[in-house]
Amino acid sequence: MNYKKKLIEVSLPLEAINRESAREKSIRHGHPSTLHLYWARRPLATARAILFAQLVNDPSSDPDKFPTIELQDRERIRLHKLIDELVNWDNLNNTALFDQALQEILDSNGGELPRVLDPFAGGGSIPIEAQRLGLLSSASDLNPLAVVLNKSLLEFPARFAGSRPVFPGLAENQSSWAKTEGLAADISQYGRALRDLTASQLGVHYPEISIGGSTNAKVIAWIWARTVQSPNPANPIMVPLVRSWWLSKKKGSEAYIVPTLENGELKFRVNRDANGPRPEEDGTIGRQGGFAIGDGTPISLDYVRKEGIAGRLGRVLMAIVAEGPNGRLYLDPSEEQSSAATVERPISVPSGSIPSNTRDFRPPLYGLTEWSDLFSDRQISTLVALSDNLKTIRHQVISDARLSGAPEGKSLEEGGNGASAYGDAIAVYLALAIGRTTDYGNALNSWSSTRETVRNLFARQAIPMVWDYAESNPFSSSTGNFVGQVDWVSKAVMNAPTRNEGVVSQANASTRDYRGFVISTDPPYYDNIGYADLSDFFYVWLRRSLQDVLPNTLNTILTPKTDELVADSTRHGSKVAAEMFFVDGFNSVFTKIRAQADHSAPITIYYAYKQQEEDASGKSSTGWHTLLSGLIASGWEITATWPVRSEMSNRMISNGANVLASSIVLSCRPRNENAEATTRRGFLSALKNELPGALRELMQGAIAPVDLAQAAIGPGISVFSRYSRVRENDGTDMSVKEALLLINAALDDVLNEQESDFDPVTRFAVKWYKQYGWNDEASGIADQLARSSDTSIAVLERGGIFSAKAGKAHLISASKLADSTGWDPLNDESLSIWECTVRLAGIMATKGADSVSQLLPAVESRVGLDPVKELGFLLFYEAEKKGDTKDAILFNGLVSAWGDLTMRAHRDLNEPKVNEQFLFNLEEQEDGDQ
Ligand X SMILES: C[S@@+](CC[C@H](N)C(=O)[O-])C[C@H]1O[C@@H](n2cnc3c(N)ncnc32)[C@H](O)[C@@H]1O
Q: Which is nearer to ligand X, 23 or 164 (CB)?
A: 23
Q: Is 125 in the site for ligand X (CB under 6 A)?
A: yes
Nearer to ligand X (CB atom), residue 665 or residue 840: 665
Q: Which stretch binds ligand X (CB under 6 A): 65-73, 225-233, 407-415, 560-568?
A: 560-568
Would you say 595 or 826 has its CB closer to ligand X?
A: 595
**52, 66, 98, 120: which one contacts ligand X (CB under 6 A)?**
120
Nearest CB to ligand X, comparing residues 510 and 854: 510
The interface region with ligand X, picked from 179-187, 229-237, 516-524, 744-752 by CB under 6 A, is: 516-524
Q: Are 649 and 704 in contact (CB under 8 A)?
A: yes
State the DSSP string of 560-607.
--TT-----HHHHSSHHHHHHHHHHHHHHHHHHHHHHS--SS-EEEEE
The pattern of x and - marking residues 519 through 538 that bind ligand X according to CB under 6 A reads ---xxx------x-------
Task: Kindly state whether residue 141 participates in binding ligand X, applying the rule CB under 6 A.
Answer: yes
As a whole number of Å, the end-to-end CA separation of the chain is 43
Residue span 636-675 as binding mask against ligand X, x where in contact by CB under 6 A, dash where not = ----------------------------------------
Q: Specify the residue, 536 or 887, whose C-beta has the smaller distance to ligand X.
A: 536
Cβ proximity to ligand X, 389 vs 495, nearer residue: 495
Residue 249 interacts with ligand X (CB under 6 A): yes or no: no
Rg (CA), the chain: 32
Stretch that binds ligand X, among 92-100, 455-463, 561-569, 791-799 (CB under 6 A): 561-569
- Residue span binding ligand X (CB under 6 A) among the ranges 99-107, 184-192, 502-510, 794-802: 502-510
b (16+ CB within 10 A) / e for 179-213: bbbbbbbbbbbbbebbbebbbeebeebbbebeeee
What Cα–Cα distance (Å) separates residue 677 from each residue in 564, 680, 681, 714? Answer: 36, 10, 12, 20
Residue among 122 and 290 whose Cβ is closer to ligand X = 122
- Nearer CB in complex with ligand X: 337/521: 521
Q: Could you give the CA distance from residue 14 to residue 83 in angstroms, rounded to a whole number? A: 10
Query: Which is closer to ligand X, CB of 42 or CB of 394?
Result: 42
Nearer to ligand X, 564 or 887 (CB): 564
What's the min distance (Å) between Cβ of 564 and ligand X?
4
Minimal distance, residue 144 CB to ligand X, in Å: 9
Neighbour count for residue 233 (Cβ, 10 Å): 8
Contacts of 53 (CB under 8 A, 6+ apart): 6, 7, 8, 12, 79, 83
Grouping H, G, I as helix, E, B as strand and the rest as coil, residue 396 is: helix
Kindly state the smallest distance separating residue 531's Cβ from ligand X, in Å: 4
Stretch that binds ligand X, among 122-130, 151-159, 223-231, 593-601 (CB under 6 A): 122-130
Q: Should residue 143 be labelled a site residue for ligand X when binding is judged by CB under 6 A?
A: yes
Measured from the CB atom, the residue of 145 and 686 that comes closer to ligand X is 145
Q: Are 453 and 479 in contact (CB under 8 A)?
A: yes
Measured distance CA(510)–CA(591) in Å, rounded: 9
Asked if 374 and 353 count as a contact pair (C-beta separation under 8 A), the reply is no
Tell me: does residue 360 bind ligand X (CB under 6 A): no
Among 11, 34, 38, 437, binds ligand X (CB under 6 A): 38
Query: Whose CB is nearest to ligand X?
Result: 122
Task: Give CB contacts under 8 A, 24+ apart, made by 292-297.
Answer: 292/230, 292/231, 292/232, 292/235, 292/237, 292/239, 293/239, 293/240, 293/259, 293/261, 293/266, 294/230, 294/235, 294/237, 294/239, 294/261, 295/230, 295/232, 295/235, 297/230, 297/231, 297/232, 297/235
Q: What region, left, alpha or beta, does residue 351 occupy, with left being phi > 0 and alpha being psi -120 to 50 degrees?
A: beta
Q: In this structure, how many other beta carbons lie within 10 angstroms of the beta carbon of residue 22?
A: 18
Instruction: Report the residue number, 270 or 665, with the smaller CB distance to ligand X.
Output: 665
Region of 139-147, 206-214, 275-283, 839-847 interacting with ligand X (CB under 6 A): 139-147
Rank residues 124 and 350 by Cβ distance to ligand X and give the closer one. Answer: 124
The residue within the footprint of ligand X, chosen from 565, 739, 765, 897 (CB under 6 A), is 565
Closer to ligand X by CB, 118 or 181: give it: 118
| Sign of the CA dihedral with 283 first, then 287, 292, and 298 last | negative
Residues 44, 130: Cα–Cα separation, whole Å: 10
Neighbours of 656 (CB within 10 A): 11
Contact between 126 and ligand X per CB under 6 A: yes
* Residue 563 engages ligand X in binding (rule: CB under 6 A): yes
Nearest to 373 by CA among 243, 241, 465: 465
Q: How far is the CB of 149 from ligand X (least distance, A)?
A: 8
Give the number of other Cβ atoms within 10 Å of residue 103's Cβ: 12
Give the residue among 751, 761, 763 at the shortest CA–CA distance from 878. 751
Please, what is the minimum distance in Å from the beta carbon of residue 179 to ligand X? 23
> Do the bridges between strand 677-679 and strand 725-727 make them parallel or antiparallel, or are there none, so unpaired?
parallel
**Binds ligand X by CB under 6 A, chosen from 146, 433, 554, 631:** 146
510 binds ligand X (CB under 6 A): yes
Q: Cα–Cα distance between 86 and 494 in angstroms, integer?
A: 19
Exactly one of 5, 19, 36, 42 binds ligand X (CB under 6 A); which one? 42
Rounded least distance, CB 525 to ligand X, Å? 7
Closest CA to 799 of 849, 763, 842, 751: 763
Considering only residues 122, 355, 602, 842, which one is a binding residue for ligand X as defined by CB under 6 A?
122
Contact residue for ligand X among 4, 27, 30, 41 (CB under 6 A): 41
- Distance CA(403)–CA(898), nearest Å, equals 61
Nearer to ligand X by Cβ, of 195 and 512: the residue is 512
Binding range to ligand X, per CB under 6 A, among 458-466, 506-514, 633-641, 750-758: 506-514
Which residues contact ligand X (rule: CB under 6 A)? 38, 40-42, 119-120, 122-126, 141-143, 146, 508-510, 522-524, 531, 563-565
